[in-house]
Amino acid sequence: MLKCNPDSPQLPVRKRALEEGKVIYMAVPKLAEPEPFWRLDPERLDVPFHRAASIKGASTYGQPVALDEMEPIDLVVCGSVAVDREGRRLGKGGGYSDLEFALAVQAGLIGPDTVVATTVHPAQITDPGVIPVTDHDFPLDLIVTPDEVIYTKTTIPRPPGIIDEHLDPDKRRAIPVLADR
């Protein structure tokens, strides 16, 4: 199983995964639905995979699923604005990727053997120590560029799940799966 962010830079990853018969989970934007993920099963899709793998396609052809309807995840592919070779990543700043990860960890869907990867341009790789890390940030195991695959061998700990004191009350109210916490 693959959990992949819905952003366009990872569209080729999602398309390739579907072509290879992999089931994909994509988060509903801003986790705004009670069923916060879409499941894309290539065996159940009757449209071209490039169409289903887009965010619009996932919302149209994907099956909405709750966390308790999901299967364990082998690989997480996330988007990143910047990364370093030690596994630190900087997202777009909304914190949704961190929340998706934490929810999946807490639900037992992401474990210590789940590989976390990102795809970036080489210009997005920065020097170690430039990217700040908090307790809710998850580290990368792999960084893939058009030219290389970087195995980070990160020692940065993964978050144990949702860290309640890091949640903004407005965000908690806006995300149905968090509203009852």
Sequence spans of domains, the chain: 1-181
Q: Where are the alpha helices (DSSP H) in the chain?
A: 11-19, 49-52, 55-61, 96-106, 169-174, 176-179
1-181: CATH topology = Rossmann fold (3.40.50)
> Residue 181: pLDDT above 80?
no
Q: Report strand pairing: 75-78 vs 82-84.
A: unpaired
Percent of the chain whose predicted confidence (pLDDT) is above 90: 88
**pTM greater than 0.75 (yes/no):** yes
pLDDT of residue 159: 95
| Mean pLDDT across 117-125 | 97
**In 3D, which of 140, 100, 147 has the Cα closest to residue 122?**
147
Quote the CA–CA distance of 139 and 155 in Å, as a whole number.
Answer: 8
User: Which tens digits make up the pLDDT trace of 12-48?
Assistant: 999 999 999 999 999 999 999 999 999 999 999 999 9
Residue with tokens 């899709």: 45
Percent of the chain with pLDDT over 70: 99
180 pLDDT higher than 70: no
Q: For residues 64 and 59, what is the distance between their CA atoms, to the nearest angstrom?
A: 8
Measured between alpha carbons, how far is 1 from 23 in angstroms, rounded to an integer?
A: 5
User: How far are the Cα atoms of 86, 92, 101, 122 from residue 62, in angstroms, in the given order?
Assistant: 34, 24, 20, 32
Confidence of residue 179 (pLDDT cuts 50, 70, 90): confident
